[in-house]
Structure 1
Amino acid sequence: MPRPHLRRRLAAGVLALATTAATLTLAPTAAEAVVLPNNFKSVGYMPSWSGNVNSIQYGKLTHINYAFVLPNGDGSLRPVENPGKLSSLVSLGHANNVKVSIAVGGWNDGDDSAFEALAANSSTRTAFVNNLIAFVNQYNLDGVDMDWEYPDPGASANNYTLLMQQLGSALHSRGKLLTAAVVSEGYYVDGVPTAVFGSVDWLNIMAYDGGSPHANYDWSIASVNRWKSRGLPAAKAVLGVPFYSRPGYYTYSALVGMDPANANRDCTTVGGAQQCYNGVPTVKRKTQWAMANAGGMMNWELSQDTTGSTSLVSATLL
């Protein structure tokens, strides 16, 4: 997830499309399942520390990831924050035909030492997998979203592969999902070996916190194409978009609250500094590209969106 000090800040939800032949229509009512062409995904993150589960636009999502639960180096899990919120999210999600997964890890101030330790030997890998299966069963979840964001190329990447293969087998044999959040570019891309692609249902590509300005259209599309060029099937490539600005990390809803016209911009000035983000036109444009070239849309994160005509989740209703 978004990096500097953002384990406590930023998750995502986008899209809802219904199609009849080649015609896309607007979203279903809250209690109906979102019908997306070609199994297209609309993935949103809901953080434990922000947002109200009653405010989520469930009718515009197919999947929600609750962020985060953290591991220990011995394969055990730390207590999840706001477990009552998670339980409510699962109940409301399922009532609206939305699948809910637990996101494991996150930015966590860049500290992935627990992942490194637990993935390094078979006994702690097995303990971690068993503990996650128990967690999924306890909360009636639909899967796991692995957010070990920065496995290093080499031994760490090999351990990541072994972990994901074992976790994927355990989840898939139980009819559950395994997804993962991955970086957009750079050194850590090779920390996720291509051998992992067969073990996941899809990858949530964090196409933000990069480019100039951050998450601009061309850079974001190039991020997804980079993963596809490594052999990731288009159907497993989910394009992530930010609901916040850089460099100040203003939420999209705060920016629109300052000036409703900001909904149709990608940059605005706040306190004398330029803040750049994705407004409605850019999110629509990215969605159009993803509909033809990827497997879905993801954003970080649901509590940062607006409601009504300026909503970025709604902006993906093409």
Structure 2
Amino acid sequence: MKTSLPSHKLLAHKFIRAFVLCLPLYALAACDNKTSEFLDDIWDGDEDAVCEEDFTSVDFKQIAYWSISDEETLDDIDFTKLTHVIYNKIGVESDGDLILPTGDDLDEFEELIDTAHNSGIYAMASIGNASDSAFNSIAGNTTALNNFINNVENLIKDYDLDGIDINWQFPTTDAEGDLFEDLVKEVSDLATDQGVLFSYVVDSGEDDDATDQGVQEDALGYPDFVNVMALNTTDNDDLHSSLEDAQDAITYWTNRCVVKNKIVLAIPVYSQGDAVLDFNDIVSDDLDNACVDEAINVEGPNGNTYDNINYNGIVTVIAKTEYAQTNAGGVILNAINQDYVEDTDYSLLNTMYLQSIYQSNAICD
């Protein structure tokens, strides 16, 4: 298993390394400065963590977020091709109250859970808002935090959930990192008591300083898995969420000593560029669009035509899933209700599933 060395052992290891460099007597004067540099780096946390070799087994996860949409999608999705589905998402107030779906939306939430259980997979719910201000308030107030935990417990019991996902996007400072750790510890304890799963979202680590501060080492010990939102990243090319971006994200978290089985790679089911379109809309316009990552003259559902659309097509989803099979513990579609469902051959869910059982989707060959 990959873990960081205890801090006192890490300190000793690095001090010895610094000292050995300076053993020759004639170099002892210069050694003082070198040793000081190493110690400064250690205290500042600038040195990379030392990870043990990862011998943990991998239970490869095929997960998807599902959101209530204008079109009914529950009957069109083959949930047996997943291991987990996560309802995205339940809102939260700064006092710890949850904002549950109502009316028809509540009916669909309950139907999703029933459908998942009937398909033999885990049904989880994600909790979060577009802004992280509520989580900051909750984690910084004991009364709000206790109220939040009680409400999450009731949510699990009332709807027979198999797990909770915390969608705090994203803590980025030391102060937020402390609050994030406090929150996820309490949710982790609750999940353990209730016998359910616990996950949370993390970013790609593209801004590694911010991510280092926001998700601190102790916080990484609490979840069963982390959903790595390698989405909208363009650090290596002009395409959003490219294969290389995904590889870099997995490498970042591996270097943070997160074991492979805990790393779940997020795959987008939407475009960037001139418009944010569902994969379903892109492929409905032209089936050939399913096999590439860029398309032009794409007519959206509003009747407008867009150029410069880029997204993850079937070939890239195969490559990402294949890479995750070797280097991570699973993949997750960010919004399965945006997938193309008219023909299974052109579905990203089906593509991800086939690769997970080592059968490639050959529609693009």
TM superposition score normalised by structure 1: 0.84
User: How far does residue 48 in structure 1 lie from its aligned partner after superposition?
Assistant: 2.5
User: How far does residue 272 in structure 1 lie from its aligned partner after superposition?
Assistant: 5.2
Distance in 2 of aligned mates of 1:79 and 1:238: 26
Verify: 1:315 aligned to 2:351, yes or no.
yes
Q: For structure 2, which runs of at least 5 residues remain unmatched after alignment? A: 1-56, 298-304, 356-365
User: What residue is the counterpart of 1:254 in the other structure?
Assistant: 281
Amino acid at match of 2:295: T
What does 1:7-156 align with in structure 2 at a 5 Å threshold? Answer: 38-50=58-70, 51-81=72-102, 82-106=105-129, 108=130, 111-156=131-176
Amino acid at match of 2:108: K
Amino acid at match of 2:120: N
Partner SS for 2:172: coil
Partner SS for 2:333: strand
User: What residue is the counterpart of 1:280 in the other structure?
Assistant: 314
Contact 1:76 1:131 survives alignment (8 Å): yes
Amino acid at match of 2:128: G
User: How far does residue 38 in structure 1 lie from its aligned partner after superposition?
Assistant: 3.4
User: 73-82 vs 209-218, which deviates more?
Assistant: 73-82
User: What residue is the counterpart of 2:23 in the other structure?
Assistant: none
Contact 1:143 1:178 survives alignment (8 Å): yes
Q: For structure 1, which runs of at least 5 residues remain unmatched after alignment? A: 1-36
User: What residue is the counterpart of 2:250 in the other structure?
Assistant: 224
User: What residue is the counterpart of 1:172 in the other structure?
Assistant: 192
Amino acid at match of 1:277: Y
Amino acid at match of 2:121: V
Q: Pick the structure with greater CA Rg.
A: 2
Is the helix fraction higher in 1 or 2? 2
User: How far does residue 176 in structure 1 lie from its aligned partner after superposition?
Assistant: 0.5
Distance in 1 of aligned mates of 2:210 and 2:278: 27
Aligned residues with identical type, % of pairs: 28
Distance in 1 of aligned mates of 2:183 and 2:115: 31
Partner SS for 2:99: coil
Distance in 2 of aligned mates of 1:304 and 1:78: 23
User: How far does residue 230 in structure 1 lie from its aligned partner after superposition?
Assistant: 1.1
Distance in 2 of aligned mates of 1:124 and 1:262: 48
User: 49-58 vs 39-48, which deviates more?
Assistant: 49-58
Distance in 1 of aligned mates of 2:230 and 2:88: 18
Distance in 2 of aligned mates of 1:224 and 1:114: 28
Deviation digits for residues 128-187 of structure 1 (CA, Å, limit 9, x no counterpart)? 111101111111111111001112311111011011011101111211011011111225
Deviation digits for residues 189-225 of structure 1 (CA, Å, limit 9, x no counterpart)? 2312121111100001111111120011111110111
Contact 1:68 1:80 survives alignment (8 Å): no
Amino acid at match of 1:205: V
Amino acid at match of 1:45: Y
Amino acid at match of 2:289: N
Number of equivalenced pairs:
279
Which of 198, 202, 211 is equivalent to 1:189?
A: 211
User: What residue is the counterpart of 1:264 in the other structure?
Assistant: 291
Amino acid at match of 2:147: A
Distance in 2 of aligned mates of 1:135 and 1:272: 42
User: How far does residue 80 in structure 1 lie from its aligned partner after superposition?
Assistant: 2.5
Distance in 1 of aligned mates of 2:172 and 2:265: 22
Amino acid at match of 1:123: T
What is the RMSD of the two structures over their aligned residues, measured on CA atoms? 1.5
Partner SS for 1:209: coil
Amino acid at match of 1:311: S
Distance in 2 of aligned mates of 1:198 and 1:54: 37
User: How far does residue 273 in structure 1 lie from its aligned partner after superposition?
Assistant: 2.1
